Every structure is written in structure tokens, then in C-alpha cells.
Chains A and B, each alone.
Chain A
């Protein structure tokens, strides 16, 4: 079996005259947590959108779980996206639905579960991210940022995805909540690891990244500067990375 769950092959993305992703070729390991680091504007979010097929390559291929995602037609792509769970920077909970309904949403849309089963599953998911019964029936606007993020995580996990993607899951959170979210991401990874589960995190938090990740991809101006396991990354001699590490 392939050791990668996601592979980029000569991936190029240009917007107008500017090249945002410049001929990337690398793989993201199955069963591992990989963090994408890099300065603002390096192309991290754009790269993640390619994994989801929300953005299509100008040239090159994006292979996810053995499927060239850029070659799927629109309907197959929508179907395929159910392999992913995504946690957005500000959780992106539907503001017209309670926490409970947010987590139930993908189940109602994509499974034939009955009300009873949905309730069981949703409450179990909310429990696992530490959301109380009382908070489950509140609207996102009545939750704190950290709680929203946790509900977002529960929603991302609802359909038992094979790949979890997190775009800056901890930016704007206090240090305690940041570590709680990281613990959750690691626990999620560990709980699912036998199924070939993969986590991809975009982060600016170098310390948490070193503590929790297995692999680190360092991007700069649309290219991958380093792609190493954490221990090697710590020893990297690359001056840009040294500067990042000394922050």
C-alpha cells in the first residue's frame, strides 16, 4: 500500500500573473499528523483548497486516497468530499443552527440514520469534544470561540472522514484553549489511526507544532522549503527555518 494518503504531482497554481504554488511534488503520510508551516501568503490555504478540490490546479495533479481529485467531474467530486472533515479557522458553524444541529447537519444530509440514531451519534461526538448538553442547544453566537472550534471539530468528524484538515485551528485562541484543541486533534488522530487516518494542520504556532506533529512541511512563496519529520526539522540548517524556530 501507498504510504501517502495525499500526493501532489508537479502542482502549479497561478492566479492571473502570479504563481501561488510553484511546481510542488510531495506526499502527505498516512496515519500521521502533518503540519504545514509558512509565512502569511506562502500559499498554505491555497494548497489545502486543492486537497478538497475547492480550487483546481493550473497544471499538475492532486491525488487523494489514490484518486486524481482534479480529474473528477463535479458530482463525483461532491461525493468524494465526504472523505474529508474540515475545521475552519473560525469554525464556520452555520449561524442559524444550534451546536447540536450543526453536528447533525452532515448526518441528516448524507446518511439514512433516523432521529434516534442521529441524537445518539451527535451527543456522543459533542461529549468527546467536551461540549455540555446545555451548550449543545445554544446557537453559535452564544458560544465562546474555543467552544465553537470544538463544535466545528465534532461536525468535521461526524461522517467518519479519512482525512481531517484544519486551517489555523488555534489562531486567536488563548494558550490553554490552544492546547486543548491540539490535544483533541491528537486524540482524534490516535483514535482513528488504524483506519489510515490522516490529519493535516495549517498553523503558525511553532511550539505546538513541534510538540504534536509527526511531519512538518515548510512553505515559502509557493514552494516547499523543507519536508521532514519533527526531529530532523528541529535540526534543519536552513536559515529561514532557523529564524522561524527561534521565534
Chain B
């Protein structure tokens, strides 16, 4: 009995130690990537490739997610609002929800799933096949060459994708609202412009930028941490997706409470 308790305490201790170690590694990685971001040579070509890659990989699914989210959300709100005869408020309600919350968070989840995974897989494969050592031997810093363009790429791309999400989501709700639910087009748009504020759009854009940065750093970190063969790459990829998504959701909570105070 005593031995078993001891063993469990030991296991708990090991888990805590591992987590602390991981946190230390992650912090270290974060600082290193920041350092190398500002150190020349600046690799703009790699950055544009990443922006293109992230956009290319995500734009279709962003299109799909946003149009349906806008449409379905408009319809759901209509059902509630109709009861109190406030169905003309569908426009602003949907748009505000999209701008402040849905666009950045859903875009973030999509990009975490697609691009965070791809980052970890690409870098992890390079790690286990010694391609990263090969870079270092040639005197090229692998953080600067592989991590920095991906992190910046995600930081720049996600707010753009989130803006696309917002516009298409708005389009979806407009279609459902005016065509299917027969709200007057002029009323729909004028109500939106009455209630929407620039700060709300800004809130979404700031959130998306932060999410993009975090997804980039989590994806590349788990790539660099890969150990062992193909199995290790699979594990790293999985970790990148899981932690990317968790981070988006948790950070969203704190960002919301912070940004609503200042904006």
C-alpha cells in the first residue's frame, strides 16, 4: 500500500517536472524566435511563401465556414427575435458576434487545425531526417530559416483570413435575412451601420493577430521538439493541433475581458 502511494507521488512529481521542463523549453524557444526575427538577413521570400501557403490552405474552408456560420446564425436569431418583434436587429447582432468573436475564433481554429499541423509536420520531418542539422552545418540558423517565416506568416495571415470570414459571414446573414426572412434590405444594412463600431472590428483583428502568432509559435515549437522517427512526427503534429486549439479558446477568454475594457 505504502509502496503504491509512493509510486503515485513519484509519478505525479515526474509529470510536474516534465510540464515545467516543457514550459521552460517553450519560453526559451519563444525568446529565441523573437531574437532571430530581428536579426538580418530578413527572408522576405520565405515569408511570402508562408503567407501564400497559409492563405491557400485555408481560404476555401474559411469561405465555407463563414458563409454557413453567418447564414445559420441569422436564422437562429430570427427565431428568437421574431417573438419580440425585433427581427430587424438580426443584421447588427450577427455582425457584431462575427466581428468580435466568431470570425477570429473560428478562423483561428481552422488555421490551428490546418496550418499548425502542417508546420509541426514539416519541421518535425526535417528534424528527424537531419535536414535541420544540415542547415545548421551550413551556418544557417534553423529558427530564423524555418520558424520565423511561419510565425510571422501566421501572424499576418490570420487577421486577413478573419476579415474575409467577417465579410463573407455578413454576406451569408444578409442573404438569409433579406431574401429568405424578408427583412427590408435598407433596414438591414442601416441597422448594421447604426450599431457596428470600429472598435468591434478592431477587437476581432487584434484577437486574430494574437491567435495567429500563438498558432505559429506552437506549431513550429512542436516541430522542433519532435524526437524519434515518423511516429514522433505524428505525435508532434497532434500536439500542435490540440494545443493550438486549446490556446485559441483559452486566450480568447482573457483577451475578451481585456479588450472590452480598453476598446
A interface residues (Cβ-Cβ under 8 A, vs B): 52, 54, 78-79, 81-82, 84, 86, 88-90, 92-95, 105-106, 109-110
- Cβ < 8 Å to A, chain B residues 123-138: 125-126, 129-131, 133-134, 136-138
8 sampled A-B residue pairs with Cβ under 8 A: A78-B141, A79-B139, A86-B134, A88-B134, A90-B130, A94-B134, A95-B131, A109-B138
Contact A81 B131 (CB under 8 A): no
B81: Cβ under 8 A from any A Cβ: no
Contacting A52 at CB < 8 Å: which of B129, B137, B141?
B137
Chain B interface residue count, Cβ-Cβ cutoff 8 angstroms: 13
Query: Does B20 belong to the interface (CB within 8 Å)?
Result: no
Picked from A79, A95, A106, A110, the residue with its CB within 8 Å of the CB of B126 is A95
Residue numbers in A under 8 Å from B131 (CB-CB): 92-95
- Could you say which of A78, A90, A94 contacts B139, with CB atoms under 8 Å apart? A78
How distant is the Cα of A110 from the Cα of B41 in the complex, in angstroms?
12
- Is residue B230 within 8 Å, beta carbon to beta carbon, of the partner chain? no
Chain B contacts to A: CB under 8 angstroms: 125-126, 129-131, 133-134, 136-141
Distance to closest chain A CB from B124 (angstroms): 12
Q: Contact at B125–A54, with CB atoms within 8 Å?
A: no
CB-CB under 8 A from B134, the residues of chain A are 86, 88, 92-94
Q: Smallest Cβ distance from A182 to chain B, in angstroms?
A: 21
Which listed residue (A89, A95, A110) contacts B125, Cβ 8 A? A95
Interface pair A81/B139, CB less than 8 Å apart: yes
Say how far A174's CB is from chain B's closest CB, in angstroms.
21
Inter-chain CA distance A185–B136, complex, in Å, is 22
Residues of A within 8 A of B136 (CB): 54, 81
Chain A proximity of B147: nearest CB distance (Å): 15
Known A95-B125, A95-B126: A88·B133 in contact at CB below 8 Å = yes
